[in-house]
Structure 1
């Protein structure tokens, strides 16, 4: 029953729950809490998938003739039979494979992203000018409006001559505040975790809704920081001016395909503390209560096998 409960929980958290949450409109008014909820769903789904495999694999320790758990392959086969033993071993091997694939994906995403950023940072330092007495700001001699940041230990905010020409001083302050908010909060690390999980799962299982939603939410958080500094109107005009600018791989840009949604949000209702509170409670519930509900019976059974 524990294995079945874990499996159903994992499938629910991978399929229906992200689909419903991705269509919801309330995260626009509670972006930080919504990110925490997405993180809880992802962690709970991964833990549930692992727990389902381990719960099935624990059946290898079936009680032998003496009532104690079997400890050798031959004794396990004698109790379970070849077909059931092979099934349990296969499930355990798949669980280990998923764990290895997840860790490998995390390492690959981190290494590849940092390599691209390091190369791009080198190019920007060579071709760009340092303006306004700031070592972390580079201005490229490009007519197209560009505004993005390169996170990391040696972070950069990159603008273009076209951006400086198109934006007024309040709009420039807004766009710089937006990019610095990305760097200060390390939104890139949040995105990396979701990219790793998205990459680790097979295409027929994974969904892009979580990754797309979190990408939008981190932009909303940076928008909120810019609004506190420069106000909504200058930020909206700056976002529109930079909307068509390309985003280098590994960077976080001010514009992009979500610009229309974000500009509309700036003229809508403000963030809601009650929605945030509800999202935090939901995140704790998703992460804690279902896990305890299925883990306690399983742990009780293991205690009975090994200590009775």
Structure 2
């Protein structure tokens, strides 16, 4: 019963950690660390939620969830379930398995939908875009509105409009390219995918939508930081101000844009952050990461340990 109690405890703890992260502005000071914390929170929510149902349902076996499931499957195949397994236990087990299947289905569906969107986008770009004369990984689309976005994948491409080229100075354009390249190199699309799948699985959950939005903003801030390594932060901030002041062309679904999906509030936060660089001590980041990994790994271990 120890692992049952633990799952019951870690679920509200993870939910509370989500609430704290949503309200905290500390996360903006260290986006990479905060993204790892968000991934740990998401993993803990899923593992503890499913683990609670399965641990309660399989409690008569007095094993970890995975060994208990193996024993349950063997007993069910033989038609010899333990007498201690009541209909309530069976219902909870079915709910846990159904939730697992639903989340797996949402993840696969999200991945396939994004892949299809990107395939169509690549096909369209092959018809209407032209290579940038200097930047080999950039494609130019004839359109007066400003836009710049990354089409992620194994063959990542950066798309800019002629409106953006007319608007930005040479240094600003380089900073924007560096931002988009950061998205491609760090595969931020894969960082966002599990959160998007979780939102697809539970579209009515406002907290999960807020978590997805928070992670999306941190991804943009992380790309800002990478771009600022080789470019002046104020140059990138100026480019974002120019984007903010002009008519922006929304980035297509399945892409990562410098400004395409940002609310005005989020864009203002990024500009202010670039103008005043935040600082967080390395020991604090390491401590938070260790704490997050511990919280996330404990429910996983309890799927296996016979407690």
Which category of TM-score, normalised to the shorter sequence, fits these structures?
0.7 to 0.9
Structure 1 residues 50-61: aligned runs within 5 Å = 50-61=50-61
Say how many residue pairs are matched: 286
Residues 236-266 of structure 1 deviation map (CA, whole Å, 9 limit, x = unaligned): 1111222334121011111122211100001
SS at match of 1:224: helix
Measured in 1, the distance between the counterparts of 2:60 and 2:299 equals 25
Measured in 2, the distance between the counterparts of 1:204 and 1:211 equals 11
Measured in 2, the distance between the counterparts of 1:76 and 1:220 equals 54
Measured in 1, the distance between the counterparts of 2:249 and 2:143 equals 11
Tell me, yes or no, if structure 1 residue 264 matches structure 2 residue 265: no
Which consecutive residues of structure 2, in runs of 5 or more, have no partner in the other structure?
63-70
TM-score normalised to structure 1 length: 0.85
Q: Which moved more, 1:3-12 or 1:282-291?
A: 282-291
Please tell me whether Structure 1 or Structure 2 has the larger radius of gyration of its CA atoms.
1
Report if the CA contact (8 A) 2:199-2:209 is conserved.
yes
| RMSD over equivalenced CA pairs, Å | 2.4
Shift in Å, 1:202:
6.2
Residues 185-224 of structure 1 deviation map (CA, whole Å, 9 limit, x = unaligned): 1000000111112222363585222211110111011101
SS at match of 2:82: helix
Measured in 2, the distance between the counterparts of 1:153 and 1:40 equals 26
Q: Evaluate the alpha carbon distance shift between residue 291 and residue 99 of structure 1 in structure 2; reply closer, same or farther with a 3 A threshold.
A: closer
Give the aligned partner of residue 30 of structure 2: 30
Report if the CA contact (8 A) 1:121-1:156 is conserved.
no
Measured in 1, the distance between the counterparts of 2:206 and 2:55 equals 21
Give the aligned partner of residue 209 of structure 1: 210
Structure 1 residues 185-224: aligned runs within 5 Å = 185-201=186-202, 203-204=204-205, 207-224=208-225
Report if the CA contact (8 A) 1:177-1:225 is conserved.
yes
Shift in Å, 1:49:
2.0
Q: Evaluate the alpha carbon distance shift between residue 55 and residue 32 of structure 1 in structure 2; reply closer, same or farther with a 3 A threshold.
A: same
Measured in 2, the distance between the counterparts of 1:202 and 1:122 equals 30
Give the aligned partner of residue 286 of structure 1: 295
Q: Evaluate the alpha carbon distance shift between residue 202 and residue 187 of structure 1 in structure 2; reply closer, same or farther with a 3 A threshold.
A: closer
Tell me, yes or no, if structure 1 residue 254 matches structure 2 residue 258: yes
SS at match of 2:149: strand
Shift in Å, 1:76:
3.0
Measured in 2, the distance between the counterparts of 1:102 and 1:11 equals 19
Measured in 1, the distance between the counterparts of 2:283 and 2:81 equals 57
Measured in 1, the distance between the counterparts of 2:81 and 2:253 equals 54
Residues 115-157 of structure 1 deviation map (CA, whole Å, 9 limit, x = unaligned): 1111112112211111134443111111111111110122210
SS at match of 2:291: helix
Shift in Å, 1:7:
2.5
Give the aligned partner of residue 137 of structure 1: 138
Give the aligned partner of residue 39 of structure 1: 39
Structure 1 residues 103-114: aligned runs within 5 Å = 103-114=104-115
Tell me, yes or no, if structure 1 residue 232 matches structure 2 residue 243: no
Which consecutive residues of structure 1, in runs of 5 or more, have no partner in the other structure?
63-68, 301-308
Measured in 2, the distance between the counterparts of 1:278 and 1:241 equals 38
Measured in 1, the distance between the counterparts of 2:174 and 2:184 equals 15
Q: Which moved more, 1:190-199 or 1:108-117?
A: 190-199
Give the aligned partner of residue 66 of structure 2: none
Give the aligned partner of residue 306 of structure 2: 299
